């Protein structure tokens, strides 16, 4: 099982220029970031969306076309499906969750972000987590798992497991909604069924924190 030593994101080394800023100030810095080539092709920086004061954060891979156009994460077809799954357990970005991504600019053709791109962007996610101090972190998809935990094992092997996260947070890997849309079965032990059980477990722990 992954442990703290395997987490790539070093939260003790967040850029000193961002450590004492508010979330809005960090967002303003991020909006003018040119640390990697993704800045050359983006329409909008996609920093994050939802309730910053909530106890739960969801981290995805990166923006797609719809997100790049709107500046908000998870607003395309997969994002709407994610909202539906979360809202089945009364979790929503309007009420009690904050949603962001590993990288804040869209990779061309929606490809997986490179290690260099993730490294260039990590300071902003570091700052988001440091400022928010979520109690629960959902790692949505294999790229988020790889970036946060430094492991390449398939997400299907560790989804639904509670892992130790930064600042005492509990982290759980979750299958990406785009994968679930390609697997429409709702039968017992299907990806969609398993994800619903994971969301129910997350909601159970979230309720215990209230």
Number of independent structural domains in the chain? 1
Listed in sequence order, the residues at least 6 apart from 70 whose beta carbon sits closer than 8 Å to its beta carbon are 44
CA pair distance 67, 3, nearest whole angstrom? 32
Q: Which CATH number does the domain housing residue 63 bear?
A: 3.40.470.10
Domain of residue 125 covers 4-209
Residue 15: its pLDDT value, please?
Answer: 67
The low-confidence residues of the chain, meaning pLDDT below 70, are 1-16, 19-20
Task: Give the Å distances, CA to CA, from 85 to 51, 76, 78, 134, 180.
Answer: 18, 14, 11, 20, 10
Residue 120: its pLDDT value, please?
Answer: 94
Listed in sequence order, the residues at least 6 apart from 135 whose beta carbon sits closer than 8 Å to its beta carbon are 55, 56, 168, 169, 170, 206, 209
For residue range 117-132, list pLDDT tens digits in order: 999 999 999 999 999 9
Residue 150: its pLDDT value, please?
Answer: 86
Residue 5: its pLDDT value, please?
Answer: 34
CA pair distance 146, 151, nearest whole angstrom? 5
């Amino acid at each position: 099982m992954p442990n703290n030593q395997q987490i790539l994101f070093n939260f003790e080394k967040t850029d000193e220029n961002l450590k004492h800023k508010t979330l809005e100030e960090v967002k303003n810095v991020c909006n003018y970031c040119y640390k990697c080539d993704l800045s050359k092709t983006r329409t909008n920086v996609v920093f994050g969306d939802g309730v910053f004061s909530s106890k739960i954060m969801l981290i995805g891979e990166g923006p797609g076309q719809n997100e790049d156009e709107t500046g908000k994460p998870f607003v395309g077809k997969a994002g709407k499906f994610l909202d539906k799954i979360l809202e089945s357990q009364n979790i929503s970005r309007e009420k009690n969750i904050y949603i962001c991504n590993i990288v804040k600019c869209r990779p061309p053709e929606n490809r997986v972000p490179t290690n260099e791109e993730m490294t260039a962007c990590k300071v902003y996610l570091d700052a988001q987590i440091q400022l928010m101090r979520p109690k629960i972190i959902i790692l949505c998809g294999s790229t988020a798992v790889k970036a946060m935990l430094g492991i390449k094992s398939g997400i299907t092997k560790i989804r639904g497991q509670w892992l130790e996260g930064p600042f005492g947070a509990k982290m759980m890997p979750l299958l990406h909604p785009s994968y679930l849309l390609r697997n429409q079965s709702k039968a017992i032990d299907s990806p969609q069924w398993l994800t619903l059980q994971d969301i129910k477990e997350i909601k159970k722990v979230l309720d215990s924190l209230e």
